[in-house]
Every structure is written in C-alpha cells, then in structure tokens.
Structure 1
Amino acid sequence: MDLSPRTEPQGGVLPPAGLVLLHGTRMSRAQWGPYLPLLPGTEVVSVDLPGHGDRVAEEFTRQAALRTVADAVAQAGPRPVVAGHSLGGYLAALWAAEHPDALGALVLIGATADPAGPLTGLYRAFARVMPHLDAERTARRMNALMRLLGARGEHADVLPGGAAYASLPAAWDLVIAEAGPRLLEEVRCPVVLVNGQLDQMRLHVRRFAAHARDPHVVTIPRATHLLPATHPEQLAEVLRLALALARPQEPDAPV
C-alpha cells in the first residue's frame, strides 16, 4: 500500500484540500466533532444527512441524501477529500460515481461489503422489523454495546436516541439497491478503503479495490465497525494520509 503524498506540480504550492466527513446510520455530524483537534489546519465540513441529527424529522430519500453530499462538497472547496462511514461511505461512493472527476480522494470507512452479497438478507430483515420495535430501548442497547466495545468520552456522549432509527429502512434500501464495488470504476481519484480488522463490512474489500483505479487498503487492527468511535487516533491518521494523497486537478480534466 502506497500512501505517500502526490508530488506538487512545478510553479506553485497547491492549497490544502478540504475534508468532507459523512456519518453512518443513526449517527449525526456530531460523530465527527472529536476529530477536529486531531486534524489541525484542515478545513472540515460535516453535515447531518436527512433523517439524522438536527434533520431527524426529514424523510430520507436518494435525492435529499445526494443533494446533502453535493452541498458539503461545494462548501469544502475545489476537489476535497470525501470520507464516509458506513451509510456515509456508500453515499460518498454513489455521489463520486456521478462526479468521477470532482474529488481529490475518496475514503470509504466500513463500507466495503457488497450489498449484493450474503449480508443483504440479514439487513433487509432487520429493516423490516425495525418499525415494530421499541426504538428507544433498541437505541439504549445499541449504545451500551458501543460503549462496551470502546466508545469513550466525547464519542460516547454523541450516541443517538431512538428517533434516528426511523430513516434506517429507507437508507438501507438505497444502499442495497444501488451501492456496490462497480461504483468505483470511473472514479479517477485515489480511493482509500479503511476497515476495522473485525468489521463485517470489510467482507468484500478486495472486490472494491479491484474496481477502483487507484485503491489503497487500510486495516485497523482489533477494530470493529465502530472504528470512528473506538479508534479515533488511528482513523485520523488515515484521513491525514488521504489528504496528502489528494490528487490535484489535471489541466484538461473536467469537473
């Protein structure tokens, strides 16, 4: 794996790339608050996806979700790095597939399980029963598990309540219907595929890497799917390396 920075072109120093951070299912932009001290000097843009955070009452739709990504990319400046965890990673890949020249780098965190694979049935079943469960009780149990697995301090403080589960079926339906490794085929920037060693969403990382033009695979030892909450220093290091990898605009390439 080569994560060395790109050589700057002669004639001037490139401005640093901005960084867009997209949260996972149930979470919110608050997921990334503890990362700001770990990314000094970086222009960070984090947003709530529809149905999450301050937008928990909004309907999650494909159009609204991808518009949110587009707005965040525009706010971050030219050719930013876009990094997404879980749902955020799949949405980042969907957006990048439609704008293959727009990014400096793409980082998928815990988002390399092919939705066409064997996990699909399990996730569909959970989404179907979710409306019939006590959402607050489910959230308490899930948050307790996250704390048990290592979420501490600020990362534990931002764990969401039950209202965040309402958008889960629509979000997973979109991922299952449209996400997958082929989204990376036309993406022209470096693609960093980062997973916890124990993450079930790491299942098809080689398949995703095979479809990317410039893949970089990173595995965080002993981490699970909860990697952003349990291993922030290690993930911040990967994000810094992705910023160093960010590919400048080629002279004749359209955006």
Structure 2
Amino acid sequence: MAGQVRVVLVHGSQLSAAQWTRYATLLGPDVDLAVPDLPAHGTRRDEAFTWERALEVVGEAVDGGVPGVPVVLVGHSLGGYLAMAYAAAHPQRLSGLGLLGSSAVPAGPGAALYRSIASAEQRLGVDRMSRALDRQFAAMLPEELAAVIKEAGYGFDGIPAAWAGVMGNCRPAMLGEVTCPVLLVNGQLDQLRVDARRYARAAVNARWVRVVTVPHGLHVFPLTHPHETAAALWELVSGARES
C-alpha cells in the first residue's frame, strides 16, 4: 500500500508485546504494526531464550509484512540491543532503527549493573518479582494498561541468557555499517542512557542520527511517556515514507 510503513516494536526483558498496547493508536492507521513476543516472554514464555532464536523472531517480524513496504525496527532495553544486532547483520535492510533505553555499553561498569539486576531477580524469585512489578506498574501507569501488562505476565526465566547475549554481543561498533536513520531515545533519569553519544558517533554510515531525551523519564519511559516516545518515533516513520 502506498505510504504504508511496517513498524516492528520489540519489548524489553521481563515484559511482553503488551507494553506496546497504546502504540497502534499513537502511530496511526497507515502503520503496519508488528509486536512480537521474544522467547521466554509473553506468548513464548515456554520457549527457551537463546540469542540466535531471539534474532530469528525479530527477523520474522521484519519480513512478515507486504514485500516492498519499508520497515522501521524499534526496540526497548533488551529489545533495543536485539534490534541493534539485527541491524548490524542486515545493515541495508531497514528504513529506520529506533533504540530505546539501550544506550549503555554492556561492559565494565555497565555489565556489573546488568549482573546485579539479574542476581537480585534470581534471589527474590518469580512470585515476589511479579508482585513487585505489579505494584510498580499499578503506581506508574493507567489502570487499564497496568491490568493488560499484569494479565500478559512477566518473563524471568530467560533473563540470564538474554543479558549474557547483550554483554557478549552488543557494542557501539555494531552500528558502523547501518545505513538507515538511527534514533536513540532515552529517559532523562535512565542509567542506561550514559553512552548515547558514543553509540551515535559509531553510526558513521547512517543517513542521519538523532539523540532524544525524554524529560523525567525512567527506564520504562515507553510505558510512562508514550506520547513523547511516539512523537520521537514518528520522525523515523515519516522518513521511511520518503525514502
């Protein structure tokens, strides 16, 4: 369809496609929206997480639309690092790449942060972590969205393998051959924004690169600040239509 763009939104760790519930309305009717669940999350909770299978899921979503329609790939947190890895393997496939809350180099202090989060989750256990996330989202989100996320459930089993994949595979240099526009969006209060400029500098072949900071946003800013996030993504969608 003329003017249509396929937008693939890849969720963060623990969550599911439910995190994108409001984005079909926010991005508009001319967007062919795909929101896959990663292995060990959502509808794929019973599937073991491997980095390779997660990239296959992303690739299936990218290729699942009408041939010839431009594709914008967007990921949040874990999903952002997977989107980056997919783009590195297919540097000319995409018409836009959006990396949300995935701008910290996962090595050194960054890797220590990821390990501490994973360790805390392992110690607390599934039930306590689920209750904690339920309370967190109930306090931060509209009641309807919090209920949708709670109903979809959380994926904890894949966390060690997922973040091992991030720490072992993801570096700014991965953006070096990517030719499409690259958008890096982070919450102002998100610790994982610390290396955004470093990732931006690495995208030397991108048509353009933008770094956007969402005021007062935490790491879950795509959930708490959907209008600001969608407005930033709209630049990628509009650019894809013109390409």
TM-score by length of 2: 0.90
Instruction: State which drifts further: 35-44 or 95-104.
Output: 35-44
Q: Deviations over 1:213-240 (max 9, x none)?
A: 3311111111111111100111111122
Bigger radius of gyration, 1 or 2?
1
What is the aligned partner in structure 2 of residue 20 from structure 1? 8
1:48 to 37, 56, 72: 37
- Tell me by how many angstroms 1:158 deviates: 3.0
Letter in 1 for 2:203: A
Instruction: State which drifts further: 64-73 or 136-145.
Output: 136-145
Contact 2:42 2:153 in 1 (8 A): no
Letter in 1 for 2:42: G
Determine if the alignment matches structure 1 residue 138 to structure 2 residue 129.
yes
Contact 1:105 1:247 in 2 (8 A): no
2:221 to 205, 215, 227: 227
Determine if the alignment matches structure 1 residue 152 to structure 2 residue 142.
yes
Q: Deviations over 1:145-166 (max 9, x none)?
A: 3443x32233312335875111
Aligned pairs for 1:27-46 (under 5 A) are 27-41=15-29, 42-46=31-35
Measure the CA separation in 2 of the matches of 1:130 and 1:220: 27
Measure the CA separation in 1 of the matches of 2:116 and 2:215: 30
Determine if the alignment matches structure 1 residue 241 to structure 2 residue 239.
no
1:194 aligns to what SS in structure 2?
strand
2:179 aligns to what SS in structure 1?
coil
2:22 aligns to what SS in structure 1?
helix
Measure the CA separation in 2 of the matches of 1:117 and 1:155: 36
What is the aligned partner in structure 2 of residue 107 from structure 1? 98
Aligned pairs for 1:174-193 (under 5 A) are 174-193=165-184
Instruction: State which drifts further: 231-240 or 132-141.
Output: 132-141
Q: Deviations over 1:191-225 (max 9, x none)?
A: 00001111111110010000013311111111111
2:109 to 115, 118, 125: 118
Measure the CA separation in 1 of the matches of 2:21 and 2:36: 11
What is the aligned partner in structure 1 of residue 187 from structure 2? 196
Change (3 A) 1:162 1:113: same
What is the aligned partner in structure 2 of residue 9 from structure 1? none
Change (3 A) 1:62 1:220: same
Consecutive unaligned residues in structure 2, runs of 5 or more: none
Consecutive unaligned residues in structure 1, runs of 5 or more: 1-12, 250-255
Contact 1:103 1:189 in 2 (8 A): yes
Contact 1:52 1:164 in 2 (8 A): yes
Give percent identity, aligned residues only: 41
Contact 2:3 2:241 in 1 (8 A): no
- Tell me by how many angstroms 1:172 deviates: 0.5
TM-score by length of 1: 0.86
Instruction: State which drifts further: 115-124 or 56-65.
Output: 115-124
Letter in 1 for 2:189: L
Determine if the alignment matches structure 1 residue 169 to structure 2 residue 163.
no
Change (3 A) 1:75 1:46: same
What is the aligned partner in structure 1 of residue 64 from structure 2? 75
Contact 2:16 2:154 in 1 (8 A): no
